[in-house]
Amino acid sequence: MPVNTSLDVCWCDDQKIFEYGQGVFGPKPEHRRLDAIRASLCYPNCSGPDPVYSIVMDVGREEHLAELQSRMLLFGVVVYAGGRLGHEPVRSQGHVHAVSPHSGWSAPELFEIWEGRAIIYAQQFAGDYPGRCIAIQAGPGDHVVVPPGWAHWVINVDPHSRMVFAACCDRQYGFVYDQIRAHGGLAWFPMLDDQDEVFSELNQRYSATSLIHPRASSYSELGLSRNISIYDQFAQDPDSLQWISDPSRFADLWAPFAL
């Protein structure tokens, strides 16, 4: 994996570990096994890469650790395997963020693609009626924001290569899976055709709904810029990402939020 110039973290594929540069902290990876996500797959008994993806949470430069902790912010890095999960591309199982005790909000999440091509799929509700459903296409350098309370999963669009992304989230993060597993996944399954192109198939356990496919936005209303990495933005102005752990700062924005 090419080193991201803003945070010296790289993936060692043969050892299945992340390597950290001088002055960068981070844990050993957690590996998400195929069996752990079967309950949300269109074809739960399928074969596929195992582990499906590997994740490190709480990554950063040592000089910023105290600031990240005091602001209840957390950076993570995730690498997805290439391949297929049956007829689906490699993806996560999907979740809703639990309500964070310190804020009383289900926190938003900010993604940044480092390598490969991704779709971040999000739906407004996890119940029978999913509300607005959005599949955002993103490539290296793109940012995607998932608003508070939205159910979502991340997809590796290209079965021939890995995909790597970073994310900034609430330090008191927690994942809620129950409604998603009860529906066998989210409202729209990503599927691969014979040319390895992604299309979407409605999950019949939900009410019928439409799906839109926008490109990643600049999110200027949140003070973001595509010209700077999310970690560098934090390093230069830690308060600029405080809305991630304190969503009340944009309470009037979230209901009509346009991903």
DSSP character string of 146-163: EPTT-EEEEEE--TTS-E
Q: What's the pLDDT at 95? A: 97
Computed over every residue of the chain, the mean pLDDT equals 95
Q: Flag whether pLDDT at 121 surpasses 90.
A: yes
The pTM for the full model equals: 0.96
Give 218's contacts (C-beta < 8 A, 6+ positions apart). Answer: 143, 224, 225, 226
List b or e across 245-256, with b for residues whose CB sees 16 or more CB atoms inside 10 angstroms: bbbeebeeebee
Q: What's the pLDDT at 208? A: 87
Give 259's contacts (C-beta < 8 A, 6+ positions apart). Answer: 122, 134, 136, 144, 145, 146, 147, 214, 217
The values of phi and psi at residue 187, to 5°, are -75, -25
Q: What's the pLDDT at 253? A: 92
Confidence grade of residue 131 (pLDDT, cut at 50, 70, 90): very high
Q: Flag whether pLDDT at 3 surpasses 80.
A: no
pLDDT digits (tens, 9 = 90+) for 72-94: 999 999 999 999 999 999 999 99
Q: Flag whether pLDDT at 100 surpasses 90.
A: yes
User: Domain segments of the chain: what residues?
Assistant: 16-244
Report in angstroms the alpha-carbon separations of 6 from 106, 115, 122, 238. 28, 14, 27, 15
Q: Flag whether pLDDT at 40 surpasses 80.
A: yes
Q: What's the pLDDT at 33? A: 97
Q: What's the pLDDT at 247? A: 97
Q: What's the pLDDT at 5? A: 62
Among 122, 114, 103, CA closest to 246: 103
Check: CB of residue 242 under 8 Å from CB of residue 250: no
- Percent pLDDT > 70 in the chain is 97
Rounded-to-integer distance, Cα 215 and Cα 188, Å = 18
Cα three-residue angle 114-251-180, rounded to 5 degrees: 60
Q: Flag whether pLDDT at 29 surpasses 80.
A: yes
User: Does the domain formed by 16-244 have CATH 3.90.550.10?
Assistant: no
